[in-house]
Structure 1
Amino acid sequence: MGKPTGFLDYKRQENEAIEPLSRITNFNEFHPFLDEETRRKQGARCMNCGVPFCQSAIKLKNMVTGCPLHNLIPEWNDEIYNGNDKRALSRLLKTNPFPEFTGRVCPALCEKACLNGLDQDPVTIKENELYTIETAYTNNWMKAFIPSVRSDKKVAIIGSGPAGLALAHDLNRRGHAVTVFEKEDRIGGLLMYGIPNMKLEKKVIQRRLDILTEEGIVFKTNVNVGKDITKKELEKEYDAIIFATGSKKARDLNVKNRDCTGIYDLLRYSEIVWI
């Protein structure tokens, strides 16, 4: 805990939003980062609790609170405050393969569990996370990790959404040869086709895909497994097959006026936008 009184000395300060009349001229992200000094103060607000509920991911009344990835949040908040951004990165990447995604689109269950939120505002955990990974990209710390030893095992992953990419990332780092099959024409699943640019710009996804490709992962697009390639063909070539296809069936809502025109479920809306 770099500053024991940080949560008393500094108030929560979030990334500001670009004025609506300016941001409606494009579809880009519209929350510029805080300056470095202010961000370090936000890291100082973390109390380094004896039991850090922010990273615990406990279930209360069938609802999860806290980080499902068990991110080492107090550790990298402390490093941010002390100016050790590279060490903050090492702690962050220990549990989270893609913080540039979660730092933008995660609902921040960690902040809902932050003890600061009991009597004041919680720590800006999500933005601290995003600051850490973007600082790493800016300083060219994000390098491809190519395993020095390769196994003789080959793995096929069907689906290139967050689950498929995370599996590919971890299995490749363990030395296995990984091939990811995607039926669409671009890799990323709902990261690419379901989340609008204002929340997650496509260049952020492509930046990570370039690293994964350099690490040795093979991506095959426009391949509809089951039609373009059979199960027997996959079993013949690969030692393991992983299904990470996600869901293409939306869950409807039983609410008043649901039958009004112009209301689309998210999956269908995504298809309309991209078509």
Structure 2
Amino acid sequence: MKLISWNVQWGRDAAGVVDLARTVRQARGLADFDVLCLQEITRGFHALPGGPGNDQFAELAALLPGYTIIEAIGADLGAQPAAASTGRSALRRQFGNALATRLPVRQVFRHLLPWPADPAAPSMQRVALEAVLDAPGGALRVLVTHLEFYSERQRLAQVDELRRLQQEAAAHAAHPAPAESDEGPFARSSRPVSAIVCGDFNSAWGSTAYARMLAPLTDSPAFIDAWSTLHPGATPPPTAGVYDTVQWSEGAMTCDFAFVTEDLRTRLKHCEIDGVTQASDHQPIVLELA
């Protein structure tokens, strides 16, 4: 199974030009992916730099025939008051994550992440999108997320929630509730323990949040960093600010990761950070499981 995780900044490249179709083309050039996990996909946010289209989730569906497109909205705000005067439809302004897959999708969960008050930092509601996929080698859970940028307090709370969600899934796997019927919403609650959690963690490699993500878990396999596991002793290349030195004026950093549960260690075949593309202010991660 091949997966790409990428903060695509609504299709905006390092020079500031928005072209979501180019982003998808570049992703296809990196791998014949089964799963594409994207952060910073928008709807109704045409006022963002570069002017993204009205509905990028719909754009992805058109660009990826044969794939199921799943969305999860973090920030969900009212329509831009000036939308009517520009002739654009008055869509709500939504900002979140998308997961595209050609694998069968069993279940989907949208987890709003904690957002503790922090008056010292700008912030927005963040979300983790979870899909249970029938993947080669067995069902697994794929979560794509994007943690808070400005507030460490909020990032740490969000990491704690991702860990709690893993423990919850492990408990469902061990103690599934019976289904009320085969056709109603009270379906069997069993979820696979195995998981990939990927995205922009806005936390530097080796930081407190990064270390907390890797800490042992009670009644569940812990998370490991796929890249570091396959490159023991090495320092990962930067994943943000490599080419866009305006937004990242303090320098590039490594803050995008693909974590997998420990039980997937032996299936890790390939994990690389592409350092060539300039189609975003972030670099994509390409992960392959045997």
TM range (shorter): under 0.3
Which of 1 and 2 has higher RCO (CA within 8 Å, sep 6+)?
Answer: 2
TM-score (norm 2): 0.26
Pair member with larger Rg = 1
TM-score (norm 1): 0.27
- Which structure carries more helix by proportion? 1
